[in-house]
Structure 1
Amino acid sequence: MAHAVLGGLVAMGWMVLPLARAGADAPAAPARSARATAAPAAAPQAATTTGDLVPPLVAAGAAGAVAAYGYGRRRRRAARTTPGGDPGLTPLHELDRQARRLLVETDDCVRVGAEELALAMDRAAGDAVEPYVYDLRHAEAGLAAAFRLRQRLDEADATGPDPAGGEDDRRDVLEEIIARCQDAGQRLDAAAPGFDQIRALERNATAALEFAETRFRKVAAGVRAAEATIASLHGRYAPAASLPVAGDAEQAKDRLLFTTSHLNQARQYADRGDGPKAAAHLRAAEGALTQAADLVDGVDRLAGELASATAGLPEAIAAAQAARDAARGLPPDARAALVGPLGHAESVLSAVRHETADGPSDPLDALRRVAEAAAGLAGAGGGELPDGHEQALVPARSALGGAACFIGTHRGAVGSEARTRLAEARRLLGPGSVPLSEVLRADDLAREARRLAERDVRAYGNPSGGRGGAGAGGAVLGGILLSDGEGGPMSYGGPRTRGRRGAFFT
């Protein structure tokens, strides 16, 4: 404030100075008649003096604006930290609740937007859907930035209490998360009417129904194959290996039951010429069908990952043994820092060898432990030892894929914390070369995301069927049907438009 006041005084001095200089330079007027005679000649001098006043006035105004901004900012900060402060300021806990809710809401909108956009791309020209692809990518980028901010905030919370001024910083981050989510949602809301024209479900329900029914038959066959695959995994590996997909075939059947019911209703309304109701039931069926396909694909994906881990485990063990032997060959002073990692590596290698020799095991978990042991040796050895980078990628990507599938097919119950960890794991395992430290961190985050999501689902319980008929409970759990009063199926769009077909869902 003092700086701003000083600036204002300097500006005022600059403004007065030309007047003082003009007064000192002008000769004394001898008589009233002389003043009248000289008046025309004085006009240019007056204009010059007025022009000289403009810069000082601008400076004074700027100084005043700076002073007002600083004063207002201090008042807002005081209101934030003073009990009974600014009543218009949203409490911090409420701001945090809004940020979490918007993260979940926006994530659901982006997921459904990607799902419905893929269906549109199957049946529409590429240039027609391109603007909506761009809008979705914009929303995805904003959501990813919001999740990154939330992750940093959670990491800061985990380190201990905030330092002085931490409440203001936390408020700023929460407001940024909210702003990014709102921007993403508004972008999708604005695109929704045009997207409906591209998909034209209300006008072309019959053609879309035929496409969905063909897809249904393919997914139904996949469910039967997934049941056989899960039975095979039970016989080949330890129970823990197939646990991530243990109930996926049954859930896929539940989604298909819902799909059958709503494809039938969509067909009936289409035959009657009621396009809006046909579109609403078709959209619900599409959502359930997509989740059933995801569950089937998840079983196939895990089977392939377990086979890859089984094939790669001997090489990983050999690499870890080579790293152990290299560590033992280091000079005594360098080897001193490796006592702990060497002991851990020996223990892990011995346990893995016994597990694989005694019968069915979990090769992904074994590969993870061996890779982590090799990474510990490499880290303690200053990077001179093999680090098991390639071996660590297999379990990390498996954990990421499993968490993504679980959260996507249970999103009606999963909160912001699990989604945030998943988003951070996905960021760390993004395209390009990934450092080993980030691979291991992504693996941890993906498994944490899965644990948190399973906790949320347990707390959510088993939703009742209610509106939507057979399989509606699973559809609500999967976020296919909205459970917040809108009741209808989710469609491409933001929070304001995503449930627009709910009025026709009867």
Structure 2
Amino acid sequence: MSPSVRRALAVTATLLALTMVGAGPAAAEDPIDVTGNITDRADALGGDTAEVQTALDAYYEQTNRQLFVVYVSDFGGLTGSEWAAQTAERSGLGRADVLLAIALDQRSYGYDADAEDFSDADLEKVDRDFILPALRQDDWAGAAVGAAEGLTEVSQDSGIPWGWIVGGVGLAAAGGGYAIHRSRRRYDHTHPVVDEHGRPVDPASILTDEELEAAAAKALVDVDDALQSSAQELGFAEAQFGTTATAEFRAVIEDGRSRVREAFTLRQRLDDAEPETDAERRTLHSRILQICDEVDDALDAQVERFDAVRDLQTRAPEAVAALQPVLAATVERLPASRATLESLQSTHSGSALAAVADNVVRAESLTTKAAEQVTLAQGALTSGDAATAALHLRTAEDATAQATALLDAIDTARTDLETIRDDADDLLGQVVATVSAVTTYVETHRGAVGSTARTRLSEAARLLDEGRLALTGDPAGATRTLERAAALVKEAQSTAEADVAAWRSTSDRDDLSLGGILGGGGGGGGGLPRLPGGFGGSSGRSRRPSRSSSSRRSSSRSSSSRRSSSRRSGGGRSRRSGGGRF
């Protein structure tokens, strides 16, 4: 039900009530003890209850926190923040619980959350950008859905390495003397983790060696995925608007790739035969986290500008029309690619060919999934749901791009293999072909491939470049370097294939999630389902076009409602509450 229809019905209902019984005051509600995620004593949601419950469930699945939403007619003389605080206390809400209360007739609202988990800036962002704009449109369901989305965003926007240290390995070993303070993605390095006296603490210093290593490994995989997804999304933008309009985004990605290669080199150093001291290993792992932090921030700094350029939600009909011939052309390539692969298999063997052996099968599956997503996007557009259409469209684009990359890899393998001199054992050609094929394999299986395979591949690519440059001046040294590259890329391939095999044995998801398009993150396929990535850093992988994101932000800038916030302590807990009028 649209906000305008809701307003019209509300006005009609009010006029009828005045005609029949006079203009009596709205029924006031004292603070209550909530018993479920949704308490609707004002009949605000109607047919939208399921939508709100889905959003609350998604918030819990992604953050392990609960959001409680209460709709009443009137707060009975209390402000929204007072009513929310008293209801939260009466209901015994804990640290992982957030309460949003809305009084429809009073046109007031309030929220209450734990002060340890959310800063004032976090809650102000959720209030300003996600809750208030919906309330001003009488979109009662949208306010709850927006609250869930906003709280998820600020919960996941911890910086790196802090976000991965907190979310990836936990802080159980740190004891009770430390409190985690999450902030927005553009992290304020003055107060991420503090001790009991409020002094900043380096999160890495309170982790064991094993926990720090795990955090660094996760950071490498996540930022590598973010760069790949961003590059893929940039390709669509370049096709639409040209390379000049998107040059700045390309520069950020290329710089990020260079920096991440440096991080992979450090990881390779940690894995090589020469041992480091425990202190040296901690220093290198911390440096890896710092590099990932900087790359992630650089990507995230471009998100809003990139989204404004692409504007996929507004341009969904045009984008669907543009994707259809590209998808059709990819499907038409399948028979020829299958024939090429069969021909290569009859005349060649080796790692380069093994890495593309399943490419046609996967490309066929991905194009089928892409066609399904296009159909869903068209259905959403027909029903007027541009946000959902954009989600399906992005999935279709990503699937089509990966299918194209898989088929391109077969053509590249043919070219590379044809240039290898059989009689001279062309080592350079073999390494070039294998690195190219395995790179595509990792990129198109990134939902399963972990940090070890990516580290070996990155080092093989670095040695390939080094060996190529040394061929003219130091042929013997170049050969030794290329031999090391060949050994590493072979290890990368076998490790990646083992990761994929393990993923397939424990997962019932499809080729979309295997490619990192839908489903769990990299490194074994674990984790919660996620939506298509788009452009941006790893902490924005769950970012999606919200149901009214553009109107939310535009209206929030001009909002003149009165809002307030406060912090209180009691019973061993510290809470933040706020709210205002709409």
- Which of the five TM-score ranges fits, normalised by the shorter chain? 0.5 to 0.7
State the one-letter code of the partner of 1:135. Answer: V
Q: TM-score, normalised by structure 1?
A: 0.62
Q: Structure 1 residues 448, 501: CA separation in 2 closer, same or farther (over 3 Å shift)? A: same
1:106–1:181 CA contact under 8 A, matched in 2: yes
Partner of 2:434: 399
Residues 1:259 and 2:294 are matched in the alignment? no
Partner of 1:142: 259
Structure 2, gaps ≥5 residues long: 1-202, 471-477, 521-526, 548-582
Partner of 1:339: none
Partner of 1:421: 456
Question: Which structure's CA Rg is the greater one?
Answer: 1
State the one-letter code of the partner of 2:323. Answer: A
* Residue from 496, 519, 529 that aligns with 1:453: 496
For residues 314-362 of structure 1, what are the alpha-carbon distances to aligned partners after superposition, in whole Å with 9 as ceiling and x for unaligned? 3x1xxxxxxxxxxxxxxxxxxxxxxxxxxxxxxxxxxxxxxxxxxxxxx
Question: How many Å apart are 1:414 and its aligned residue?
Answer: 0.5
Q: Structure 1 residues 239, 429: CA separation in 2 closer, same or farther (over 3 Å shift)? A: closer
Output aligned runs, 1:476-491, within 5 Å.
Answer: 476-483=513-520, 484-491=527-534
Higher strand proportion (structure 1 or 2) = 2
State the one-letter code of the partner of 2:389. Answer: A
Q: Structure 1 residues 278, 112: CA separation in 2 closer, same or farther (over 3 Å shift)? A: same
CA distance in 2 between partners of 1:410 and 1:201 (Å): 25
Partner of 1:42: none
Output aligned runs, 1:18-97, within 5 Å.
Answer: 89-97=206-214
2:363–2:403 CA contact under 8 A, matched in 1: yes
Question: How many Å apart are 1:463 and its aligned residue?
Answer: 6.3
Output aligned runs, 1:333-412, within 5 Å.
Answer: 367=425, 391-412=426-447
Partner of 1:117: 234
Residues 1:438 and 2:481 are matched in the alignment? yes
Partner of 1:299: 410
CA distance in 2 between partners of 1:87 and 1:277 (Å): 40
Output aligned runs, 1:170-249, within 5 Å.
Answer: 170-237=281-348, 242-249=353-360
Question: How many positions carry a matched residue from both structures?
Answer: 331
Q: Structure 1 residues 87, 173: CA separation in 2 closer, same or farther (over 3 Å shift)? A: closer
Higher helix proportion (structure 1 or 2) = 1
SS in 2 for 1:501: coil
Name the Cα RMSD after superposition. Answer: 2.3
Question: How many Å apart are 1:88 and its aligned residue?
Answer: 6.0
Question: How many Å apart are 1:118 and its aligned residue?
Answer: 1.4
Structure 1, gaps ≥5 residues long: 1-85, 317-366, 368-390, 466-471
2:204–2:212 CA contact under 8 A, matched in 1: no
2:270–2:281 CA contact under 8 A, matched in 1: yes
CA distance in 2 between partners of 1:87 and 1:215 (Å): 46
1:487–1:502 CA contact under 8 A, matched in 2: no
CA distance in 2 between partners of 1:415 and 1:241 (Å): 20
State the one-letter code of the partner of 1:145. Answer: E
Question: How many Å apart are 1:159 and its aligned residue?
Answer: 3.6
Q: TM-score, normalised by structure 2?
A: 0.54
For residues 228-252 of structure 1, what are the alpha-carbon distances to aligned partners after superposition, in whole Å with 9 as ceiling and x for unaligned? 1122233334698843322211111
For residues 395-432 of structure 1, what are the alpha-carbon distances to aligned partners after superposition, in whole Å with 9 as ceiling and x for unaligned? 01011011101111111111101001111111222386
State the one-letter code of the partner of 1:498. Answer: R
Partner of 2:544: 501
Q: Structure 1 residues 237, 179: CA separation in 2 closer, same or farther (over 3 Å shift)? A: closer
State the one-letter code of the partner of 2:518. Answer: L
For residues 381-402 of structure 1, what are the alpha-carbon distances to aligned partners after superposition, in whole Å with 9 as ceiling and x for unaligned? xxxxxxxxxx221101011011
CA distance in 2 between partners of 1:285 and 1:430 (Å): 35
For residues 239-283 of structure 1, what are the alpha-carbon distances to aligned partners after superposition, in whole Å with 9 as ceiling and x for unaligned? 988433222111111111110111111122223332221111111
